[in-house]
Amino acid sequence: MQENGIKLEVLGSGGEVGRAALLLRYRGRGLLLDYGVNFDEEDKPQFPLHVRPTDLEGIVLSHAHLDHTAAAPFLYTTYKVPAVMTRVTRDLIRVMLKDFLHISGYYAPYEQSDVRSMIENTIAVDYGKDVKLGDFKVKLLNAGHIPGSAMTLVDVGGTRILYTGDVNTIDTRLVTAPDLADIEADYLITEGTYGASTHPDRKEIEEEFVKAVEEVIEEGGNVLIPAFSLGRSQEILALLYERLDWAHVWFDGMTRVINGIILSYPEYLNRYDLLANAVQQFRMVRSSSDRRRISKGSENVVVATAGMLKGGPAQYYLKRWMDDPTNAVFLVSYQAETSPGRELIETGRFLDLGLVKARVQWFDFSSHAGADGLLEIVKSVKGLKRVVVVHSDVGVREVLAQKINEEAGIEAITPNNGDVIELA
Ligand SMILES: [Zn+2]
Ligand SMILES: [Zn+2]
């Protein structure tokens, strides 16, 4: 290959949802796009392939979810690299990684001081502003996934590469959809979490969800809504405030801290008013006695982590409410294949505690674009030569790649971890 070629090394997220880690190389120097982890069946973090920090001009973190960030502080154990992200992402990362170290610290090859070092080396930018990192020119664009989430447009050696990070193409109460007009790129690296399916209309899902919550409360039952602490919890709280502001809604888990951070950046929120009012009017679970009281009561609605029921206060409530059929557990987050949440939906059982008698339902509140949205991105970007599909399970990514081929007429490839792709 030619000296001045641009290479893409897939260090993670090849054939898997999560562990986002992509390295662009040009003239021996690197730009890292995300450096996240995945979790195995025992919830042990799995780290991406290695990169020498001294090779890097910088790293870009697309958003604060752990599957895009939790490996990044490792780079700071020996060396300081500039890290580019939005301001809200920077503030969220601080609490997300503290929590990660608290839970998974035993497996993490770094410490809290390395997280601090990364934050000290952060260049916090607004959407649309150019940042120079050696030969790489970087610009962040709204990705519509969670507050502060970004697509990354890289310009290097005259070639433009757009990396979607996690992306959603519809407005939600939390964030607005990305503006896809006037984006030009030679190569698109796209996520494909839901590359083989199309989400139902958001409004219909919301109606169905609100009606279901009302039904349970009217029967005197309690509703548990396990939700990811960053993103989904806030969207659900805003929706509940808009539609059921009279209900006894509580929020529990890490959401409590995250709400405060997100609300300090109104410019990153679509409906700041709804979330601000929800957080003010609904109640925060402050103590274990609060938790006990709620679990013994009736007509309570609790939004709690973890979203896939892997732990957190959500498990506490479910254990106490699962035997009463007037109660309900409404799952609203992505459920990974081996998660307790997925098992509950598919078998009606929770861990080794047996059959759940409470009503169980999953609602498709996705913060990832479906196949139609991903195709819309491919078709909107001007000048595209090739698409690389990552952050997508094997089987799903092939369906998406074929769709891109057939419907947009552009070659799409599906690399595995460790693959090196010559872009230009
Ligand atoms: Zn992700
Ligand atoms: Zn994400």
Distance 218 CA to ligand 1 centre (A): 37
For residues 396-401, average pLDDT: 98
Q: Residue 420's beta-bridge partner residues?
A: 9
List, for residues 26-45, the tens digit of each pLDDT value: 999 999 999 999 998 888 99
Length of the chain: 424
Contacts of 97 (CB under 8 A, 6+ apart): 66, 69, 70, 73, 115
Q: How far apart are CA 28 and CA 39, in angstroms?
A: 31
Q: Which long-range contacts (CB under 8 A, 24 or more apart) does 199-206 make?
A: 199/364, 199/366, 199/370, 200/364, 202/170, 202/172, 202/365, 205/363, 205/364, 205/365, 206/239, 206/243
Of the options 3.40.50.10890, 3.40.50.920, 3.40.50.720, 2.60.40.10, the CATH number for the domain spanning 202-362: 3.40.50.10890
Distance 77 CA to ligand 1 centre (A): 24
Q: Give the residue from 59, 69, 83, 61 showing the smallest Cα distance to 37.
A: 69
List, for residues 158-173, the tens digit of each pLDDT value: 999 999 999 999 999 9
Residue boundaries of the structural domains of the chain: 6-197+367-422, 202-362
pLDDT category at 1 given cuts 50, 70, 90 is: very low
Distance 20 CA to ligand 2 centre (A): 10
Choose from 36-45, 259-268, 331-340 the range with maximum mean pLDDT.
259-268
In this prediction the pTM is 0.96
Distance 18 CA to ligand 1 centre (A): 5
Report pLDDT for 3.
Answer: 60
Q: Which ligand neighbours the alpha carbon of 391 most closely? A: 1
Same fold, 6-197+367-422 and 202-362: no
pLDDT category at 336 given cuts 50, 70, 90 is: confident
For residues 240-252, average pLDDT: 98
Q: Give the residue from 410, 377, 417 showing the smallest Cα distance to 145.
A: 377
Report pLDDT for 23.
Answer: 98
Spatial contact of 61 and 85, defined as CB atoms under 8 Å apart: yes
Q: How far apart are CA 102 and CA 401, in angstroms?
A: 38
Q: Give the residue from 317, 305, 337 showing the smallest Cα distance to 96.
A: 305
Spatial contact of 82 and 133, defined as CB atoms under 8 Å apart: yes
Chain mean pLDDT for the chain: 97
For residues 244-259, average pLDDT: 96
* CATH fold for domain 6-197+367-422: Metallo-beta-lactamase; Chain A (3.60.15)
Report pLDDT for 196.
Answer: 97
